[in-house]
């Protein structure tokens, strides 16, 4: 299998590079490159730029505003964006909710919700995880009781990423309390976050950022027309959504950018008067992770080529998720190791807009610990690595 770019793919890559060089705002690039916390305005400005170009929803069907790119072209776009310092388009509306709407939503729901997702004007949050119902999502307890033309929703969601900016939230709710199997009593519903009874409470992360939240629902009145698909069929829709969430979850583009940063850092730091990158032990660690990343990249490209041919990737997507998160976490560990004593001061807001405090060491040093702490989560979201191993054992070994 030839994994090198064709002439047409190389031409596409060059066009993406030219667009990014011309269109990516400098403040967004700097914040992303320093691994700072983007604000709502920055996310939505970049989304609007992509939407104007017609690139905000590349994986949607062409008739609904997709680009018609092949999976390989999408991977090229993703890697070039990471390399240039462009943030990824948030997945909640574009690549999680939208595929469900396109598959099982009715015409009125598509007409109402898809345009705001494509333009980025409507900010969507994901309401799945609960205390005690994260990886074991079937144990969720948030209820939606039908009363005439409405559902009355009560319960709590947690780890709601960027929910403080949310306009709407798509939720899994329990609509049948007597179902024999817990999965069969779950429905998929859309809730306006401005509704009375919705409360968002911040969770401040170890890296100092307000990235996730608790969302509480107290007698929230939701129109029954906001139910997506059939009542009590939400578990099937959630599985569909999670398959789309895992697109690109190997994070090859991010890890390539972090590997380059690790090499810069190791070249700048000294050990016994020589650059750390010349230390045989540390050099071997870099070589080992680079080999693993190269293998991940090749496997990812193989899967994309197979997907382009219409082949179901099967357990490979789970394998990529596991290995991708492990490679990324190892890269951030090495960056913290390379920073040495400079990784000790906790500088969560170094390099962010409006913060003029001079960081201890370089900006790469200052961000090493906060980013390391933040990325401990990546082996959990999108289906924990333990769950992915279970999926692989069932699909490959049959048990």
CA–CA separation, 87 vs 292, rounded Å?
24
φ and ψ at 312, to 5 degrees? Answer: -70, 125
Strand partners, 144: 153
φ and ψ at 154, to 5 degrees? Answer: -140, 135
List all residues 6 or more positions away from 187 whose beta carbon is below 8 Å from its beta carbon. Answer: 144, 172, 173, 174, 175, 227, 231, 232, 233, 234
Candidates 79, 245, 269, 364; catalytic one:
245
For residue 359, how far is the Cα from the chain centroid?
A: 28
- For residue 54, give the nearest of 45, 66, 70 by alpha carbon: 66
Measured on CA atoms in the order 185, 146, 127, 102, is the torsion positive or negative?
positive
List all residues 6 or more positions away from 333 whose beta carbon is below 8 Å from its beta carbon. Answer: 372
For residues 105 and 117, is the Cβ–Cβ distance under 8 A? no
User: Does residue 352 have an active-site annotation?
Assistant: no
- For residue 192, give the nearest of 159, 151, 233 by alpha carbon: 151
CA–CA separation, 363 vs 268, rounded Å?
12
For residues 224 and 149, is the Cβ–Cβ distance under 8 A? yes
For residue 220, how far is the Cα from the chain centroid?
A: 28
CA–CA separation, 142 vs 173, rounded Å?
5
Cα–Cα distances (Å) from 363 to 110, 262, 374, in that order, read: 44, 13, 17
Q: Look-up: residue for tokens 């990325």?
A: 375
Residues classed as catalytic: 245
């Amino acid at each position: 299998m030839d994994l090198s770019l064709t002439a047409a793919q190389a031409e596409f890559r060059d066009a993406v590079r030219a667009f990014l060089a011309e269109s990516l705002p400098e403040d967004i690039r700097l914040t992303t490159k320093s691994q700072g916390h983007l604000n709502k305005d920055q996310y939505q400005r970049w989304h609007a730029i992509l939407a104007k170009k017609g690139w905000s929803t590349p994986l949607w069907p062409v008739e609904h505003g997709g680009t018609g790119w092949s999976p390989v072209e999408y991977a090229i776009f993703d890697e070039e964006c990471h390399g240039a310092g462009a943030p990824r388009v948030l997945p909640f509306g574009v690549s999680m909710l939208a595929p469900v709407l396109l598959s099982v939503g009715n015409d009125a729901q598509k007409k109402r919700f898809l345009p705001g997702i494509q333009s980025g004007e409507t900010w969507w949050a994901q309401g799945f995880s609960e205390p005690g119902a994260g990886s074991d999502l079937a144990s969720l307890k948030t209820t939606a009781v039908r009363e005439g033309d409405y559902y009355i929703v009560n319960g709590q969601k947690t780890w709601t990423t960027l929910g403080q900016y949310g306009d709407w939230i798509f939720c899994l709710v329990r609509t049948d309390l007597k179902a024999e199997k817990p999965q069969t009593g779950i429905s998929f519903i859309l809730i306006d976050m401005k509704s009375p009874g919705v409360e968002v409470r911040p969770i401040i992360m170890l890296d100092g950022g307000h990235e996730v939240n608790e969302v509480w629902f107290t007698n929230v009145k939701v129109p029954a027309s906001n139910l997506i698909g059939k009542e009590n069929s939400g578990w099937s829709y959630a599985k569909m959504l999670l398959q789309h969430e895992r697109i690109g979850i190997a994070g090859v583009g991010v890890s390539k950018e972090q590997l380059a940063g690790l090499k810069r850092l190791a070249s700048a730091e000294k050990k016994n008067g020589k650059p750390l990158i010349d230390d045989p032990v540390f050099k071997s660690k870099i070589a080992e992770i680079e080999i693993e990343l190269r293998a991940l990249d090749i496997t990812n490209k193989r899967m994309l080529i197979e997907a382009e041919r219409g082949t179901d990737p099967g357990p490979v997507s789970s394998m990529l998720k596991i290995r991708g998160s492990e490679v990324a976490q190892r890269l951030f560990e090495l960056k913290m190791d390379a920073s040495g004593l400079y990784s000790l001061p906790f500088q969560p807001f170094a390099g962010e807009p409006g913060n003029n405090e001079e960081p201890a060491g370089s900006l790469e040093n200052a961000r090493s610990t906060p980013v390391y702490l933040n990325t401990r989560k990546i082996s959990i979201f999108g289906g924990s690595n333990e769950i992915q191993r279970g999926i692989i054992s069932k699909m490959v070994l049959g048990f």
